[in-house]
Structure 1
Amino acid sequence: MTITQLKYVLAVAQYQNFTKAAEKVFVTQPTLSMQIQKLEDELDIQIFDRSKKPIELTETGKKIVNQARNIVNESDRIQDIVDQEKGYIGGEFKIGVIPTVMPTLLPMFLRNFVNKYPKVKLRIEELTTDSIIDALQDGSIDAAIAATPLNNDMIKERILYYEPFVVYDPRYATQEKSKIKVEDLNADELLLLEDGHCFKDSVLNLCRNTRDTEDEHFMLESGSFETLIKLADEGLGMTLLPYLNTMDLSDRKKENLRFFEDPSPAREVSLIYHHSELKLQIIDALQNVIAGVIKGAIAFSNVQIVSPISKK
């Protein structure tokens, strides 16, 4: 049994296809198939049910994959230890980013980071908070950028910035631009992101801080802020946006924005990683680069952090 064979098994388990898995691990499909067959022969069990389309793990195969993932992750940590001791900033680094942060923050820092640390191979994936937590725990990503605090003892959090919520409502375009109070929000008129977005949970938690919303009816849910803005423009309600999402709005649409009174409700955005993570030199580098670009765009401090954790 070899580490390479276990990596091939993990690839097939992930992609449920021998050809695609071979492409991802940069070997020919016959080579990958032969090595997995050798492992199955050695163990005298069947890891994959090849009669199914797509390929499925057998019950024993599921247990083997869980253990293989641990073994492969631990073997990779040997090189991480060496890199950390040498202060080497390079190699592959897998990072997850929540959907409501990806389109605004990533363009701000990615080019700077790549130029400053060309030896780091970033692998960036858009993931929900729940998926990020699972991926950090099973070692399939090294770090993530997400709304915090998550109240998870296994995860460390480094705060990057505080991002206030901003009301978007075209009805405010013709009104005096006084600041709004949280209790002035009409929960019945809020347009929300669909389930799975932690920003939706933050908005719901914000409303629950001031009123009982158990019996409130929310009109519409959507998968993107762009759609919510268009719905609001059609007079179907109001929505809340993270501050960075307001920066690229046209001057006309910015007339529809209204800020909250201090302390403004806000989300805390952090760089997070498993407490056993060893690639701390890359995490330090990411934190420094992001901090350098974000301070010029967002500098709010008098805020009230709203939890991203869903309250059932």
Structure 2
Amino acid sequence: MTITQLQYVLAVAEYQNFTLAAEKSFVTQPTLSMQIQKLEDELDIIIFDRSKKPIQLTEVGKKIVAQARNIVSESGRIKDIVHQEKGYIGGEFRLGIIPTVMPTLLPMFLRNFINKYPKVQIRIEEQNTATLIQKLTDGHLDAAIAATPLENENIRERVLYYEPFVAYIPENHRLHSNMKIDTSDLKIEDVLLLEDGHCFRDGVINLCHAEKDFKDDRFQLESGSFETMIRLADEGMGMTLLPYLHTLGLNEKEKKHLHFFNDPSPAREVSLIYHKSELKLHITEALREVISGVIRGAIAFQNVQIISPIGKK
């Protein structure tokens, strides 16, 4: 039994297809199939029911896959131990970021990080929270940046910052004359929302004390763009809420429509999250320090009220 064989088993269990698993494992399909067959012969059991489409795990196969995940994860810890002992921060690091954080936060820290740690090959992808959690669980990501708390026992969270909500209110809106607003001023039917699947949308719905599955009777919009929300607000379709960092990139005309909340300001908690196995924790910690350093000067709010996302998306 080898670590490589167990990795092949995990790949087939995930993709439920030998050809695709081989492609993702960067080996030929015959090589992968042969190694899994050798493992099954050695253990004298059948891991996969090949008669079903897609391929299914047998009952004993499910138990083997669960244990294989632990073994493969622990084997990766050996390299971590060596790297930490040598003080080496390098190698591939796979990072996921939710869409409502990526455009504003990434430009703030990426250059600093790659300049400080040139031996790290950072691979970044944008995904919603549910996908990030699944990829962390499956070992396809080393860490992610998402709105928290997630309340997932398999995921560790390190808070990076608290980002206040800011209202974008056009001139023709009932709240435009208010210098500051209260959360009690908000009406969910009056607020333009991102498409379903964004944790920021869920946070706004929670802030307005609305139902999780709220639907606007006027129109259905599927957009993940804050810019679209701003344009619609300018056209008299309502107001919208923005994360504070996003407001820093608005032009002077747009900034005149920004209204802050009275204290405590509603805010989201943004954290660096990673699997409880804590692999590559030395790189994760280095990333956290870089982000904390650049964000400290950008967000100076102290008195905030954390709005937890509904649905954990």
Shorter-chain TM-score range = 0.7 to 0.9
CA shift digits 1:83-126 (9 cap, x unpaired): 22333212333333222112221222122212221222323333
Q: Where does the alignment leave 5 or more consecutive residues of structure 2 unmatched? A: none
- Equivalent residue, structure 2, for 1:218: 216
- Equivalent residue, structure 1, for 2:156: 156
- Equivalent residue, structure 2, for 1:39: 39
Conservation of the 8 A alpha-carbon contact between 1:167 and 1:257:
yes
Conservation of the 8 A alpha-carbon contact between 2:166 and 2:260:
yes
State the alpha-carbon separation in 2 of the partners of residues 215 and 92 from structure 1: 39
State the alpha-carbon separation in 1 of the partners of residues 41 and 98 from structure 2: 42
1:166 Cα deviation from its structure 2 partner: 1.2
1:33 Cα deviation from its structure 2 partner: 3.4
- Equivalent residue, structure 2, for 1:56: 55
Q: What fraction of aligned residue pairs are identical, expressed as a percent? A: 66
Q: Given the two structures, how large is their TM-score scaled by the length of structure 2?
A: 0.83
Are residues 57 and 215 of structure 1, via their aligned partners in 2, closer, same or farther at CA, if it must alter by over 3 Å? closer
Conservation of the 8 A alpha-carbon contact between 1:190 and 1:218:
no
1:164 Cα deviation from its structure 2 partner: 1.0
- Equivalent residue, structure 2, for 1:146: 146
Conservation of the 8 A alpha-carbon contact between 1:150 and 1:309:
no
State the alpha-carbon separation in 2 of the partners of residues 215 and 269 from structure 1: 23
**Worse overlay, 88-97 or 179-188:** 88-97
- Equivalent residue, structure 2, for 1:70: 70
State the alpha-carbon separation in 2 of the partners of residues 171 and 59 from structure 1: 63
- Equivalent residue, structure 1, for 2:85: 85
1:270 Cα deviation from its structure 2 partner: 1.4
State the alpha-carbon separation in 2 of the partners of residues 64 and 150 from structure 1: 28
Conservation of the 8 A alpha-carbon contact between 1:194 and 1:223:
yes
Conservation of the 8 A alpha-carbon contact between 2:169 and 2:240:
yes
Conservation of the 8 A alpha-carbon contact between 1:97 and 1:145:
yes
Are residues 22 and 276 of structure 1, via their aligned partners in 2, closer, same or farther at CA, if it must alter by over 3 Å? closer
- State the one-letter code of the partner of 2:256: E
CA shift digits 1:182-207 (9 cap, x unpaired): 11112221222233322122112211
Does residue 4 (structure 1) correspond to residue 11 (structure 2)? The answer is: no
Q: Given the two structures, how large is their TM-score scaled by the length of structure 1?
A: 0.83
State the alpha-carbon separation in 2 of the partners of residues 201 and 287 from structure 1: 25
- State the one-letter code of the partner of 2:244: Y
State the alpha-carbon separation in 1 of the partners of residues 172 and 294 from structure 2: 31
- Equivalent residue, structure 2, for 1:129: 129
**Worse overlay, 235-244 or 64-73:** 64-73
**Worse overlay, 41-50 or 286-295:** 41-50
State the alpha-carbon separation in 1 of the partners of residues 234 and 29 from structure 2: 52
Structure 1 segment 196-207 matched on structure 2, within 5 A:
196-207=197-208
Are residues 66 and 233 of structure 1, via their aligned partners in 2, closer, same or farther at CA, if it must alter by over 3 Å? farther
1:4 Cα deviation from its structure 2 partner: 0.8
Conservation of the 8 A alpha-carbon contact between 1:173 and 1:255:
no
- Equivalent residue, structure 2, for 1:168: 168
- State the one-letter code of the partner of 2:99: P
State the alpha-carbon separation in 1 of the partners of residues 245 and 302 from structure 2: 15
State the alpha-carbon separation in 2 of the partners of residues 173 and 2 from structure 1: 66
- State the one-letter code of the partner of 2:25: V
State the alpha-carbon separation in 1 of the partners of residues 252 and 215 from structure 2: 32
Moved over 6 A (4+): none
SS at match of 1:277: coil
- Equivalent residue, structure 2, for 1:26: 26
1:290 Cα deviation from its structure 2 partner: 0.7
Structure 1 segment 290-305 matched on structure 2, within 5 A:
290-305=291-306
Q: Where does the alignment leave 5 or more consecutive residues of structure 1 unmatched? A: none
- State the one-letter code of the partner of 1:88: Y
